[in-house]
């Protein structure tokens, strides 16, 4: 008997049969498998057909930090390269609150007015690793684009160094272009070094500024202004119009102090209102004028070639660093050397020398045997 307390000698005491405990794992979930990996050929075929689900999964693969995903991701990217469409890549930066998402929503719809156009919105947000979730490129911030069938919105890759995050976005561009997205927006927060990374993957770099804060020129780093091909002052609406015009004049004056950029194009300063959709045509006219200008003088192609080289060196740098710092013996050596440096028993330079020498010697031994 399951409960001896129920026997007649214990009159007045009954213990009911307990209810069966539910399993700790939802039985229905047992049957759902992890999303399967396709072959490189399958990914590429889907992407070229413009299959958005396949594109998203391939981007996830590119963003993956798992070692076994890396070579598959690279194969997919290489196979996509010959299929990339002619595109325009625009970088958009501005401090939080400048109106990036509002503006991208409006700019995006402007671009998509042409039925032949498709738009991908990507983002580089190096802080997203810390906040465990990216704020940029979030669909909820771009309400109209989010439901547009020709728009593909992807938040920032969220793990790794700025270089790593940016490289993944750079690779995602290739996939999007193979899927026929002929307009690419890359968004970033205008507060750190991520602008340099964005600048190195776009054809036009747009800086969104605000007027009326009283410190128009102080808040932005000179370097960011120097990179901009166009500066646009947002929120030129209501009683802010005058202040926006004033800021426009100040930015124009400030730009005169900079040398002419290598494109030969003098950056323009415009005012607009993303919220009230005022001045959007003019911004697009400016971007098209720029593109005509650099297509004619050959700078467009030159810039893309320089960027391709830049990314090769960036990738080499990143991988060398990773290979070095993730080596377990090197990690141990570095810890020991740190102690020695702090204990004044070795200098920084000889410590670095020792570790590097060990690393290079070790690499030498790993060389594959030469053929023949």
List contacts with ligand GDP (CB under 6 A).
94, 96-102, 234-235, 237, 273-275
Closest CB to ligand GDP among residues 38, 275: 275
Residue with the two structure tokens 């069938």: 149
What's the half-sphere exposure (Cβ side, CA atoms, 13 Å) at 68?
Answer: 2
State the minimum distance, in angstroms, from the CB of residue 217 to ligand GDP: 19
Three-class SS of residue 274?
coil
Task: Find out whether 216 and 191 touch, Cβ atoms under 8 Å.
Answer: no
Q: Which of 291, 289, 265 is nearest to 86 (CA)?
A: 291
Per the structure block, which two tokens stand in for 214? 């009283």
Closest CB to ligand GDP among residues 57, 128: 128
Closest CB to ligand GDP among residues 99, 267: 99
Task: Find out whether 91 and 188 touch, Cβ atoms under 8 Å.
Answer: yes
State the minimum distance, in angstroms, from the CB of residue 105 to ligand GDP: 8
- What DSSP string runs through 140-160? GG-HHHHT-TTEEE-PPP-SS
Please enumerate, as own/partner, the contacts of 320-325 that have beta carbons within 8 Å and a separation of 24 or more: 324/359
Given the DSSP bridges, would you call strands 151-153 and 268-271 parallel, antiparallel or unpaired? unpaired
Our measurement of the distance from residue 129's CA atom to the centroid of its chain's CA atoms, rounded to an integer in Å, reads 12
Closest CB to ligand GDP among residues 155, 274: 274
Q: How far is Cα 59 from Cα 67, in angstroms, rounded to an integer?
A: 15
State the minimum distance, in angstroms, from the CB of residue 277 to ligand GDP: 8
State the minimum distance, in angstroms, from the CB of residue 190 to ligand GDP: 9
Closest CB to ligand GDP among residues 51, 237: 237
- What DSSP string runs through 153-219? E-PPP-SS-HHHHHHHHHHHHHHHHHTT--EEEEEEETTSSHHHHHHTT-SEEEEEEE-SSS-TTTS
Q: Which of 267, 242, 265 is nearest to 254 (CA)?
A: 267
State the minimum distance, in angstroms, from the CB of residue 214 to ligand GDP: 17
What's the half-sphere exposure (Cβ side, CA atoms, 13 Å) at 211?
Answer: 26
Closest CB to ligand GDP among residues 78, 143: 143
State the minimum distance, in angstroms, from the CB of residue 248 to ligand GDP: 15
Closest CB to ligand GDP among residues 94, 164: 94
Closest CB to ligand GDP among residues 154, 337: 154
Closest CB to ligand GDP among residues 55, 202: 202
State the minimum distance, in angstroms, from the CB of residue 275 to ligand GDP: 3
State the minimum distance, in angstroms, from the CB of residue 237 to ligand GDP: 5
State the minimum distance, in angstroms, from the CB of residue 299 to ligand GDP: 29
Task: Find out whether 186 and 122 touch, Cβ atoms under 8 Å.
Answer: yes
């Amino acid at each position: 008997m399951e409960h001896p307390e129920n026997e007649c000698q214990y009159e007045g005491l009954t213990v009911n049969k307990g209810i069966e405990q539910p399993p700790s794992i939802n039985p229905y979930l047992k049957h759902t498998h992890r999303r399967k990996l396709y072959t490189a050929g399958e990914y590429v075929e889907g992407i070229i057909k413009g299959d958005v689900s396949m594109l998203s999964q391939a981007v996830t693969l590119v963003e993956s930090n798992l070692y076994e995903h890396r070579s598959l991701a690279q194969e997919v990217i290489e196979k996509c390269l010959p299929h990339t469409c002619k595109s325009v890549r625009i970088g958009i930066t501005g401090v939080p609150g400048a109106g990036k998402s509002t503006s991208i929503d409006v700019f995006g719809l402007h671009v998509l007015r042409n039925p032949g156009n498709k738009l991908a919105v990507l983002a580089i947000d190096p802080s997203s690793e810390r906040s465990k979730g990216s704020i940029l490129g979030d669909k909820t911030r771009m309400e109209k684009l989010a439901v547009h069938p020709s728009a593909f919105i992807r938040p920032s890759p969220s793990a790794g160094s700025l270089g790593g995050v940016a490289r993944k976005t750079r690779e995602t561009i290739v996939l999007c272009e193979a899927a026929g997205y002929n307009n690419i927006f890359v968004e970033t927060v205008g507060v750190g070094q991520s602008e340099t990374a964005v600048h190195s993957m776009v054809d036009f770099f747009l800086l969104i500024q605000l007027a009326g804060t009283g410190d128009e020129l102080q808040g932005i780093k000179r370097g960011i202004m120097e990179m901009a091909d166009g500066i646009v002052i947002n929120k030129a609406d209501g009683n802010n119009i005058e202040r926006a015009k004033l800021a426009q004049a100040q930015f124009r004056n400030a730009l005169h102090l900079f040398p002419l950029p290598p494109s030969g194009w003098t950056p323009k300063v415009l005012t607009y209102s993303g919220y009230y959709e005022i001045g959007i045509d003019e911004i697009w006219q400016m971007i098209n004028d720029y593109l005509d200008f650099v297509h004619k003088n050959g700078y467009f192609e030159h810039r893309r070639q320089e960027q391709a080289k830049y990314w090769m060196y960036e990738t080499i740098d990143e991988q060398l660093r990773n290979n070095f710092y993730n080596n377990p013996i090197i990690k141990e050596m570095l810890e020991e050397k740190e102690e020695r440096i702090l204990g004044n028993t070795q200098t920084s330079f000889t410590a670095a020398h020792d570790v590097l020498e060990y690393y290079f010697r070790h690499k030498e031994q790993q060389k594959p045997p030469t053929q023949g």
